[in-house]
Chains A and B, each alone.
Chain A
Amino acid sequence: MRRVVPFVALVAATWPAQGAVVTFYKDITPIVYLSCAPCHRPGEAGPFPLLTYEDVKKHAQQIVSVTKRRYMPPWLPEPGSGNFHDARRLTDEQIRTIEQWVTQGAQAGSPAEAAHRPEFTRGWQLGTPDLVLQAQAAYRLRADGADEYWNFVLPMKLAGARWVKAIEIRPGNARAVHHANVLIDRTRSARTQEKTLGAGFPGMDLSIEADTFDPDSHFLFWKPGGIPWEEPDGMAWRADSTIDLVLNVHMQPTGKPELVQPSIGLYFTGHPGTKFPMLVQLERDGALDIPAGDRDFKVSDDFTVPMDMDVLAVYPHAHYLGRLLEGYATLPDGSRKGLIRIPDWDVNWQSVYRYTAPVFLPKGSVVSMRFHYDNSDANPRNPNHPAKRVRGGNQANDEMGHLWLQVLPRDGEDRRMELQEALMRHRLDKYPGDFSAQFNLGALQLARGNAADAVRYLRAAVEARPDQPVALNTLGAALLSAGNAKDAASLFELALQSNPLYTNARYNLANALAEQQHWEQAAAQFRAVLTEDPDDPGARQHLGEVLRLWGDEMAAAHRLEDTVSHYRESLGFRQDDARLHSDLGTALAKLGRFREAVPEFETALRLDPHLDAAKHNLQAARARLEQAGEREAIR
């Protein structure tokens, strides 16, 4: 008999005792308030509210159906592979309780027994933002048809630099927007894809160009009902007046035309970013060539981590054919840690998943990505019926296989370059001759000052894509660093042929020409840079120097009229250069133009009273003027 008691207790714990009536207030409100209402309330993404007894009863059988299928609440990861913040998965017991409630007639019960109803905030969940950026124009979403992907470019409206601890995205139309991603565009490269400024541009995935290696390694993501993420101390990112935020939005038609005009709220902190996280991407897009009808096409990637690190968050990404998406790590001792496992991928509910506790990976651990795709007609999400061959690419009808990890190296140092190098070497192993691997390895070597190694990788990159202007420009920069100004200049010219408005390449060309003492050509290129960007401080300074040196060369050749002209133009950029004023005075004096020479010597001495040459020459010039004056008087 004694054995029976625990058994009965166990049954009672997992299944309400027979005869016990399940009621809305007592049994259902704890589930609904926590797992349904965050989205299903006015102003949020859920198509109807689920806050009151009447609300829930109006959808009771539907709720049974969608919870049993685990379509709602949407939560893709399987338990057992990673513990995540804000996990929305219902327990089996909760699902049974809902079903039992409906089977028993969906009774209300006593409101006194209800769970505490959370205070839901309307609008900005983190309070009033410090800065709000709104898309300039609303996107007009068609009433029906396929999903649409749109990129809004939002210029940062700031006077100086600030540190951002959190962003919150308000979709502008919660019913139509399925999820959104923000990318930080420090070179404002994405806006070149807009037909007119502020118009935005289409595309499911996009890449952002950067001119320095300082990757912004944060997942800035929005999904319906998600709680905005506040970065921990030391993980803030820098916002400057010169950057754009690019908001990539996935929209689904609702049956009527919709306007979508999202906003991003920024929350600042006084604590700057002191940690150096990095996004590590495992991927195998190059192997994605999925035959029509293939029900289980597999791709994999394995990356050995080059240092001790913590994994903070994971973001798996595939398009419509993805089915089973899995990531795990094999530690040096042979044990395996599950990072994430999604058995039935649904691009509509993609998300960033943040670990409740960082997942430690010792140096030498192998991170593995195993993705499976279903390109058969039996996959209802297949965008092609009948199925057809699908390859890797950015558009919705292409496929992707990415497993992104946000990692933080353990020792607190900035190890991003080292990590990037390991990633790019791995990429080169996967795709021999690959442009981006060789370009990035070259750029890394250049940043480290290894010009010779940089040239080797960059030459290979240019060979892979001969008219890629950024690669041509970077190879030119490496050659210039290695002391080969002549070849560098030719590379910058090629970059400019590919993109005549590539100001950086023009600036570099001007420098390469100056290096070769081709003053006239160098000055012409610097002037052109200033036409494109009149405030460029580097171009102003260098043009001043080039004109000065050109003037010196003319002086040595006794072409004093030219000397005067170049010195005068140079002074436009260096008014406070005492010696240049003095030298201009000397050239004028040599030409007998003492009346013009005297004020130059005077300015030189005002700027630098100890300039002996100017003192001497000023006296001489004044003496000559006096003599001339006496002669005039005698005449």
Chain B
Amino acid sequence: MHGLRFLLLWAAAAWGFGAVSGIVDLEGKAVDPFGGAAKVRIFIFLRSDCPVSNRYALELKRLSDEFGPRSAVFSMVYADPHETNKNIRQHMEQYRFPGAVIRDPVHSLVRRARVTITPEAAVFSAAGKLVYHGRIDNRFVELGKAMSTPTRRDLEDAIAAALDGRPQPEAYAPAVGCYLADVE
């Protein structure tokens, strides 16, 4: 019995089912980011002081409008433990980011999603499997070097593939922006 249980846990870790704890909403209440019904879950990692994530507010709204009706659930994740709830509310309001807002002060979701940058996206299947993580699109080549419009929309492709049950075009594409490690 012991061996079997160990095996299960090990398999879960490999599949990304490890427990995510410490996630709270803006009232400070514990939240299960994987609770509730969803065909695909998208987490977008943000910092309110990152100009690159701010530039994606409209694009995220567009994706949420496009995929929301197909049961793709968007959550904005603020990972800086030092940010105030008031500041986060104000940021959400000013830039009109879509979806729910949650906080990940201990970076457990950051680790589960394997993200390092803001803005970076993580797409999970209904079963909770991480199917894509990385940039939203390729507009930013590096900090300070951006194309006027992207030529590849990685997140859009990833969500569509997940919803359609198709294989992912890519599992990961490096994001450009601000470092999450700076706010551990």
| A61–B142 CB distance below 8 A | no
**A54 surroundings in chain B (CB, below 8 A):** 82
- B130-157 contacts to A, CB under 8 A, are 141-149, 151
| A58–B182 CB distance below 8 A | yes
- A381 close to B (CB within 8 Å): yes
Pick from B53, B55, B146, B178: contact of A380, CB under 8 Å = B146
- B59 close to A (CB within 8 Å): yes
**A65 surroundings in chain B (CB, below 8 A):** 143, 179
**B120 surroundings in chain A (CB, below 8 A):** none
Complex formed: what's the CA distance from A48 to B147 in Å? 23
Complex formed: what's the CA distance from A254 to B94 in Å? 11
- B58-88 contacts to A, CB under 8 A, are 58-59, 80, 82
Complex formed: what's the CA distance from A74 to B145 in Å? 13
Complex formed: what's the CA distance from A336 to B143 in Å? 36
**B182 surroundings in chain A (CB, below 8 A):** 57-62
**B141 surroundings in chain A (CB, below 8 A):** 380
Closest-CB distance, A357 to chain B (whole angstroms):
31
| A62–B179 CB distance below 8 A | yes
- A388-443 contacts to B, CB under 8 A, are none
- A143 close to B (CB within 8 Å): yes
- B181 close to A (CB within 8 Å): yes
- B26 close to A (CB within 8 Å): no
Given the interface contacts A47-B49, A256-B54, A380-B141, does A144 sit within 8 Å of B149 by beta carbon?
no
- A253 close to B (CB within 8 Å): yes
- A524 close to B (CB within 8 Å): no
A-B interface contact total, Cβ < 8 Å: 75
**B181 surroundings in chain A (CB, below 8 A):** 61
- A385 close to B (CB within 8 Å): yes
**B172 surroundings in chain A (CB, below 8 A):** none
**B144 surroundings in chain A (CB, below 8 A):** 66, 71, 74, 346, 348
**A385 surroundings in chain B (CB, below 8 A):** 147, 149, 151
| B55–A253 CB distance below 8 A | yes
| B178–A59 CB distance below 8 A | yes
| A381–B54 CB distance below 8 A | no
- A572 close to B (CB within 8 Å): no
- B100 close to A (CB within 8 Å): no
Q: Of B82, B142, B145, which is in contact with the most chain A CB atoms at under 10 Å from its CB?
A: B145
Which residue in chain B gives the minimum CB-CB distance to A55? B49
- A631 close to B (CB within 8 Å): no
**A62 surroundings in chain B (CB, below 8 A):** 143, 178-179, 182
| B95–A255 CB distance below 8 A | yes
A contacts with B, residue count (CB < 8 A): 30
Interface size band for B: 20 to 34
**B143 surroundings in chain A (CB, below 8 A):** 62, 65-66, 69, 71
**B148 surroundings in chain A (CB, below 8 A):** 146-147, 383
Contact with A along B106-149 (1 / 0, CB 8 A): 00000000000000000000000000000000000111111111
Which residue in chain B gives the minimum CB-CB distance to A378? B141
Q: Of A57, A58, A71, A382, which is in contact with the most chain B CB atoms at under 10 Å from its CB?
A: A58
Pick from B51, B82, B147: contact of A254, CB under 8 Å = B51
| B59–A380 CB distance below 8 A | no
**A143 surroundings in chain B (CB, below 8 A):** 57-58, 95
Complex formed: what's the CA distance from A62 to B55 in Å? 18
Complex formed: what's the CA distance from A66 to B179 in Å? 11
Contact with B along A315-341 (1 / 0, CB 8 A): 000000000000000000000000000
- B96 close to A (CB within 8 Å): yes
**B151 surroundings in chain A (CB, below 8 A):** 385
Contact with B along A250-292 (1 / 0, CB 8 A): 0001111000000000000000000000000000000000000
Closest-CB distance, B20 to chain A (whole angstroms):
24
Complex formed: what's the CA distance from A256 to B141 in Å? 22
- B183 close to A (CB within 8 Å): yes
- B162-184 contacts to A, CB under 8 A, are 178-179, 181-183
Q: Of B56, B95, B179, B183, which is in contact with the most chain A CB atoms at under 10 Å from its CB?
A: B179
Given the interface contacts A59-B182, A143-B57, A385-B151, does A256 sit within 8 Å of B145 by beta carbon?
no
| A254–B178 CB distance below 8 A | no
Q: Of B57, B59, B82, which is in contact with the most chain A CB atoms at under 10 Å from its CB?
A: B57
Complex formed: what's the CA distance from A48 to B183 in Å? 14
Complex formed: what's the CA distance from A381 to B94 in Å? 28
| A254–B54 CB distance below 8 A | yes
Given the interface contacts A57-B182, A58-B182, does A255 sit within 8 Å of B147 by beta carbon?
no
Complex formed: what's the CA distance from A21 to B95 in Å? 41
Closest-CB distance, A514 to chain B (whole angstroms):
57
**B59 surroundings in chain A (CB, below 8 A):** 144
- B9 close to A (CB within 8 Å): no
**A255 surroundings in chain B (CB, below 8 A):** 51, 53-58, 95
- B50 close to A (CB within 8 Å): yes
Which residue in chain B gives the minimum CB-CB distance to A146? B148
- A213-271 contacts to B, CB under 8 A, are 253-256
**A59 surroundings in chain B (CB, below 8 A):** 178-179, 182
Closest-CB distance, A43 to chain B (whole angstroms):
15
**A48 surroundings in chain B (CB, below 8 A):** 49
Given the interface contacts A143-B57, A381-B147, A385-B147, does A69 sit within 8 Å of B178 by beta carbon?
no
Contact with B along A338-352 (1 / 0, CB 8 A): 000000001010000
Contact with A along B17-28 (1 / 0, CB 8 A): 000000000000
| B51–A256 CB distance below 8 A | no
**A346 surroundings in chain B (CB, below 8 A):** 144-145
Complex formed: what's the CA distance from A398 to B42 in Å? 39
Which residue in chain A gives the minimum CB-CB distance to B140? A380
Contact with B along A343-387 (1 / 0, CB 8 A): 000101000000000000000000000000000000011110100
Closest-CB distance, B96 to chain A (whole angstroms):
7
Closest-CB distance, B137 to chain A (whole angstroms):
12
**B178 surroundings in chain A (CB, below 8 A):** 59, 62
- A34-48 contacts to B, CB under 8 A, are 47-48
Complex formed: what's the CA distance from A74 to B143 in Å? 12
**A58 surroundings in chain B (CB, below 8 A):** 49, 80, 82, 182-183
**A381 surroundings in chain B (CB, below 8 A):** 145-147
Which residue in chain A gives the minimum CB-CB distance to B181? A61
| A144–B183 CB distance below 8 A | no
| B142–A69 CB distance below 8 A | yes
Closest-CB distance, A2 to chain B (whole angstroms):
46
A–B complex contacts, Cβ < 8 Å, 25 sampled: A47-B49, A47-B51, A57-B182, A58-B49, A58-B182, A59-B179, A60-B182, A62-B143, A62-B179, A65-B143, A71-B142, A71-B144, A144-B58, A144-B59, A146-B149, A175-B51, A255-B53, A255-B54, A255-B55, A256-B95, A380-B145, A380-B146, A381-B146, A383-B148, A385-B147
Additional A-B contacts beyond A60-B182, A143-B58 (20; CB < 8 A) = A48-B49, A58-B80, A58-B182, A58-B183, A62-B143, A62-B179, A65-B143, A71-B142, A143-B57, A144-B58, A253-B55, A254-B51, A255-B57, A255-B58, A255-B95, A380-B141, A380-B146, A380-B147, A382-B147, A385-B147
Q: What are the 7 tightest A-B residue pairs by CB atom distance, in nearest-first order?
A: A255-B54, A380-B141, A48-B49, A47-B51, A144-B58, A255-B57, A61-B179
